[in-house]
Amino acid sequence: MAKKKVFSIGNYLSDSLEETIATAHNYAGELRIDVIPIKKIEVDPENPRDLAITFTDLYNGIAEDDPDRIRKTNELDSLQSISNSIKEQGIINPIIVYKHGDVYRLVAGERRTLASILANKPDIQAKILDGKPTELKIRILQWIENIERSDLSLWERLKNLEKIVSAFAESKGISVSDVSVTDLSNLVGCAKSHAINLKALLNADEELKQLIRENKIKNLEKAAFIATIQSQELKNKAIAECISGATYKQLKSMSEQSIQRLVEKRGRQTISVNLGATKNIRVAKVILDSILSNSSLSYLEPHFKNVDLSSHRSIADVFKNLIKKLEEIHA
């Protein structure tokens, strides 16, 4: 059975793509597909990169004293499988670039470009825009490119989404917090129920985002649920359960039970009075004498004539009997 895709291309996305690609005259010029030299491609300096490894690293090797050497080496290893695929099948999905003077700046497809260098390819197939698209259109194109990746992590999805929302908010002159669930649904082409989870993820605190970044929390639905928990105590418990492998259903059940216990604990009325305790027999004797010297309680004195005032147990039994008698009178 085919796996159901979470995302589809919604109306806003379709309109944006149509405006960006099919009618590229509106913002820069014509779109065309061509094969271009990789040597003439550069990363757009205005767009933040998720990768540390660079074109130069692949052409010249990663320097021994490079402070990012470990990270770059790991990224190089991850690029190897893409490189092997390119060697066997070529580039199936062209990268997207725009003309910038005599060079081409990347909009989407940095991993494919790096992997092509690793595969010793001199050129690459590309969709070429004659001018730079708007920030929002760039982010949408990058989102579409990335959601097709089967290895896309929750952290990468979150970072992509933050870029889209930031660009959209700026284009509308609103704050990021004012971007609604409906806006999100239209922007990335998903159902509103899914957009609710995306919104919760965007609003997550830094602690939860760090756990996502470390790949300790990988599931969107679980992360979104944890993000909505208000009690820090319950949130910490849910995080621990999630990292331990709890399912979404188990997380929800655990949270509901914990909340119920908390409500009951806070809402339960006190129905008993703890009169305290003492290890000092003299203190106990003073309290007992004070009670029995009360004229209104003098009728109780005969019941406690044979008390051993040197025994903790005997005095404790006296107080239990005294309370029992008083409860019978004041029932």
Enumerate the CATH 3.90.1530.30 domain ranges in the chain, comma separated.
28-132
The mean pLDDT of the chain is: 79
Band of residue 28 on the pLDDT scale cut at 50, 70, 90: very low
pLDDT higher than threshold 90 for residue 8: no
Please tell me the predicted confidence (pLDDT) of residue 140: 80
How far apart (Å, rounded) are the C-alpha atoms in residues 43 and 58?
Answer: 14
Mutual angle of helices 154-172 and 181-188, in 10-degree steps: 110
Distance CA 215, CA 119 (A): 29
- In angstroms, the CA 284 to CA 293 distance is 14
Return the number of other C-beta atoms located less than 10 Å from residue 201's C-beta: 22
pLDDT digits (tens, 9 = 90+) for 121-166: 999 999 898 778 888 887 887 777 666 665 678 888 888 888 888 8
Helix ranges, the chain (H): 11-17, 55-60, 69-89, 110-118, 135-147, 154-172, 181-188, 192-202, 206-213, 220-227, 232-243, 248-267, 281-292, 312-329
CA distances from 150 to 62, 76, 85, 212 (A): 27, 18, 14, 17
- Least confident residue range of 131-135, 226-230, 270-274, 296-300: 270-274
pLDDT digits (tens, 9 = 90+) for 61-104: 999 999 999 999 998 998 988 899 898 888 888 898 998 889 99
Residue range 28-132 in CATH 3.40.30.10: no
Alpha-carbon distance 209 to 200, whole Å? 11
Does 47 or 187 have the greater pLDDT score?
187
More confident residue, 40 or 313: 40
Q: What is the pLDDT, as a whole number, of residue 142?
A: 74
Q: Are 176 and 169 in contact (CB under 8 A)?
A: yes
Q: What mean pLDDT comes out for the span 231-244? A: 89
Quickly state the pLDDT bin for 39 (edges 50, 70, 90): very high
Predicted confidence (pLDDT) at residue 168 exceeds the cutoff of 60: yes
Asked if 72 contacts 57 with a C-beta cutoff of 8 angstroms, the reply is: yes
In which band, very low, low, confident or very high, does the pLDDT at 120 lie, cut at 50, 70 and 90? very high
Q: What average pLDDT score do residues 233-252 get?
A: 89
Between the CA of residue 250 and those of 15, 199, 243, 257, 296, what are the distances in Å?
40, 22, 12, 11, 59
- pLDDT(15) > 90: no
Residue 107 has pLDDT above 50, yes or no: yes
Instruction: Name the percent of the chain lying above pLDDT 70.
Output: 77
